[in-house]
């Protein structure tokens, strides 16, 4: 087991970008950048004994900051903050005061704003084999959010091929907080569409969305809909092939308890990815808007070439009082744990 820091030679906003390599006793390997807390590689051994990278990303840090990539930006492998997904109208109210955020052309705020935590260089606080703890201090007013927010994020690679992500945050003024990890997974040895991956989500309900993907506050049953993943089924079995999935699911659990969020298997590799989380929501996205050229080994990442399981609180919950709260106050601690576990089938 080891943790290795690698200099990239890249400096952003006066801060050095480092690669952090985690290796366990099985030889599984995770590469993380302190820029965006990006998981750029997750290499495991499939049932054939071959090493296989199961996440989309780039071979070089320069590609993550290239104009071409940022023009059609899918947040490959990054941590999202201060607020995951969409905030309706790019605004919210705390204690009678309104706050206005950066908005996209549809009028909503997305994934923390124009330069969210996915575009920040985090400080490397500590390394303990095989793990790393990163810190980012977001100043009051950044992207329109109140309060100075201190965030600490730990990635650990266990000998059971679990990538464990723990996030804690504190603030000096009431603020809205909702983190997620935006990893893009493909378990097939040669990539391609994830339509034939078999997926299960233990969620009896999903969140209604408007046409602009903002959550309305209604909770709807999955029964009889294309969103029913209670029994395992191929991802592409019921989807609209032009749309795929971009939907928040309400997990059948008590918020705050570690529970299964999803299971995904792929026959050719014989790999199974299980996601566990303390969060109440798993947002399932099948990369409709992904069109990335020159990925790892020159690959083209086309629409539907990956799936994301974004564990979080409900999108727009800061504006929906009935939903579990995303308001963080001084002397409180935000806490989230999510585990991405790889196993062999059979």
Nearest to 280 by CA among 306, 305, 247, 248: 248
Closest CA to 112 of 148, 143, 70, 72: 143
Is 313 known to be catalytic? Answer: no
Q: Kindly report whether the peptide bond that precedes residue 130 is cis, defined as omega within 30 degrees of 0.
A: yes
182 is catalytic: yes
Residues 6+ apart with CB under 8 A from 211: none
How does DSSP classify residue 258? -
16 backbone dihedrals φ, ψ, rounded to 5° = -75, 135
Indicate which residue of 162, 266, 279, 310 is catalytic: 310
Catalytic residue among 111, 181, 182, 313: 182
Q: Are 278 and 256 in contact (CB under 8 A)?
A: yes
Where do we find the tokens 């329109």? Answer: 144
Q: DSSP for 33-57, please give it.
A: ETBTTEEEEEEEE-TTS-EEE-B--
Structure tokens at 301: 């990442």
Active-site positions read 182, 310
């Amino acid at each position: 087991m080891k943790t290795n820091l690698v200099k990239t030679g890249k400096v952003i906003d006066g801060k050095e970008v480092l690669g952090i390599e985690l290796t366990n006793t099985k030889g599984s390997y995770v590469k993380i950048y302190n820029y965006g807390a990006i998981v750029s590689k997750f290499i495991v051994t499939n049932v054939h004994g071959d090493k296989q990278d199961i996440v989309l990303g780039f071979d070089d840090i320069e590609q993550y900051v290239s104009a071409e990539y940022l023009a059609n930006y899918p947040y490959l492998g990054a941590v999202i903050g201060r607020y995951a997904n969409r905030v309706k109208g790019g605004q919210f109210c705390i204690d009678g005061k309104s706050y206005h955020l950066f908005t996209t052309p549809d009028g909503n705020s997305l994934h923390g704003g124009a330069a969210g935590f996915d575009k920040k260089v985090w400080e490397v606080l500590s390394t303990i084999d095989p793990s790393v703890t990163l810190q980012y201090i977001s100043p009051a007013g950044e992207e329109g959010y109140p309060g100075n927010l201190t965030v600490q994020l730990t990635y650990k690679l266990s000998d059971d091929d679990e990538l464990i992500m723990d996030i804690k945050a504190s603030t000096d003024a009431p603020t809205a907080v909702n983190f997620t990890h935006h990893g893009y997974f493909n378990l097939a040895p040669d990539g391609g569409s994830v339509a034939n991956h078999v997926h299960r989500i233990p969620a009896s309900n999903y969140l209604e969305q408007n046409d602009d993907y903002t959550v309305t506050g209604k909770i709807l049953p999955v029964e009889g809909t294309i969103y029913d993943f209670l029994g395992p089924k191929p991802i592409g079995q019921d989807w609209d092939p032009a749309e795929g999935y971009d939907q928040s699911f309400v997990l059948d659990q008590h918020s705050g308890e570690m529970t299964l969020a999803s299971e995904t298997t792929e026959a050719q590799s014989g790999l199974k990815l299980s996601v566990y989380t303390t969060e109440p929501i798993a947002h399932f996205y099948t990369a409709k808007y992904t069109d990335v050229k020159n990925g790892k080994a020159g690959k083209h990442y086309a629409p539907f070439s990956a799936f994301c399981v974004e564990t979080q609180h409900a999108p727009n919950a800061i504006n929906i009082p009935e939903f579990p709260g995303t308001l963080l106050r001084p002397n409180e601690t935000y806490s989230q744990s999510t585990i991405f576990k790889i196993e062999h089938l059979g």
